Amino acid sequence: MALLPILEFPDPRLRTVAAPVDPAWLAEPATQQLIDDMFETMYAAPGIGLAASQVDVHRRFMVIDVSEERERPLVFVNPTLSAHAGEQVYQEGCLSVPGIFADVTRANEITVQALDRHGQPFELRVDGLLAVCIQHEMDHLDGKLFVDYLSPLKREMVRKKLAKQRRQHDAA
Ligand code: NI
């Protein structure tokens, strides 16, 4: 197991649109190891979701665990939304935008289809935090970040704040 480096905004690699996963790729031991490493990286951060894009792997899959006890790991490969309803506002954060939190409006209830880590198809209908997290991580696979929902002015403030955080970190 290994912790993976996480790309941070405004790294242009986070803007890559990820390619669909070939189910045969899931059968490779290196892919299963990568998924385990993504969980380890997410739990260590700590975070509730991590898209492959964030660790510079531009394929359509993500790992999520929104449970308190960190005991409900979910893998979504080639996820698609077939239905959504309602609206919710949640104060989101992102491991690629450390220390920044902002309200984002998303669908309250979604139906998602995906493959699991072994290539088996499944469908989930979820609401609340898990629905937020799935939508947030699916955005990553399309090169989109939650700060894109903010005004250009606010996004520029986020960019400056992160640059300052990095300078202070480098100086320390
Ligand atoms: Ni994120």
If pLDDT is split at 50, 70 and 90, which confidence band does 169 have? confident
DSSP 40: H
Cα–Cα distances in angstroms (integers) from residue 12 to residues 96, 145, 171, in the given order:
12, 11, 24
Cα–Cα distances in angstroms (integers) from residue 34 to residues 40, 55, 61, in the given order:
10, 10, 11
**At 50, which amino acid appears?**
L
How many A from CA of 92 to the centre of ligand 1?
A: 9
Share of the chain above pLDDT 70, in %: 100
Backbone φ, ψ for residue 55 (5° rounding): -110, 25
pLDDT 10s digits, 12-41 = 999 999 999 999 999 999 999 999 999 999
How many A from CA of 99 to the centre of ligand 1?
A: 12
DSSP 19: B
If pLDDT is split at 50, 70 and 90, which confidence band does 172 have? confident
Interacting residues of 65 by C-beta distance below 8 A, sequence separation 6+: 39, 42, 43, 48, 49, 71, 72, 73, 74
Q: What share of the chain is helix, strand, coil (3-state, %, to 5)?
A: 40, 25, 35
Structure tokens at 31: 């892919």
Active site residues: 137
Cα–Cα distances in angstroms (integers) from residue 22 to residues 15, 33, 50, in the given order:
21, 16, 20
How many A from CA of 145 to the centre of ligand 1?
A: 7
How many A from CA of 94 to the centre of ligand 1?
A: 4
Q: Does the pLDDT of residue 133 top 80, yes or no?
A: yes
Q: Does the pTM of the predicted model rise above 0.85?
A: yes
pLDDT 10s digits, 50-62 = 999 999 999 999 9
How many A from CA of 146 to the centre of ligand 1?
A: 7
